[in-house]
Amino acid sequence: MDLVIISDVRLSDFSDMMEIEKLSFPEPWDIDTFLAVYTGYGSKSLAARTKDSVVGYCLSRGMKDVLHILNLAVHPRFRHKGIARRLVEEMAAYARSTAKSIVLLEVRVNNIAAKSLYTSMGFEYVCTWKGYYEDTGEDASVMIMRTSKGK
């Protein structure tokens, strides 16, 4: 596989990211949503890139004590290679380095791949938000990782 580097998202990454988003979610974010998160207060956005293109991304927003992961996706051709794990590890390291004690996220209850990833990284189930996803009415599992014992 090509060398994959993790670094901050740049504006020029957005067309690749939109493509991955469309391939990854039934109700993909539009460009306005991406830009609002990217430019919003406390934003931290990471891209996984080869020499040719962006192959994955993770977007988050930091609050005082909490880093909230808002989006994570990897291009289908680049899945099962540990890229999502590296993106989330880098986010957790960023949270630790900015004195945030918790990384928080929501995941669809039926998203087995993402839930396996998060559980294997030390995220713990907190609660269920019933009917959280408007498109399907699906429930969300809320999960957290405490950075002091993050992996």
Ligand X SMILES: CC(C)(COP(=O)(O)OP(=O)(O)OC[C@H]1O[C@@H](n2cnc3c(N)ncnc32)[C@H](O)[C@@H]1OP(=O)(O)O)[C@@H](O)C(=O)NCCC(=O)NCCS
Binding site for ligand X (CB under 6 A): 24-25, 72-74, 79-85, 107, 111-114, 116-117, 120
H helices present in 31-108, as ranges = 31-39, 83-97
For ligand X, which is the closer residue by CB, 64 or 80? 80
- Whichever of 82 and 122 has its CB closer to ligand X, that residue is 82
Burial tier of 1 (Cβ tally within 10 Å: 0-12, 13-18, 19+): exposed
Q: How far is the CB of 41 from ligand X (least distance, A)?
A: 22
**Nearest approach, Cβ of 99 to ligand X (angstroms)?**
25
Nearer to ligand X among residue 64 and residue 69 (C-beta): 69
Distance CA 82, CA 90 (A): 12
Phi, psi of 5 (to 5 degrees): -110, 140
Smallest gap from Cβ 46 to ligand X, in A, equals: 13
Nearest CA-CA partner of 144 in 124, 119, 117 = 124
Nearer residue to ligand X within complex by CB, 116 or 128: 116
The DSSP bridge partners found for residue 68 are 61, 104
To ligand X, the closest distance from the beta carbon of 22 in angstroms equals: 11
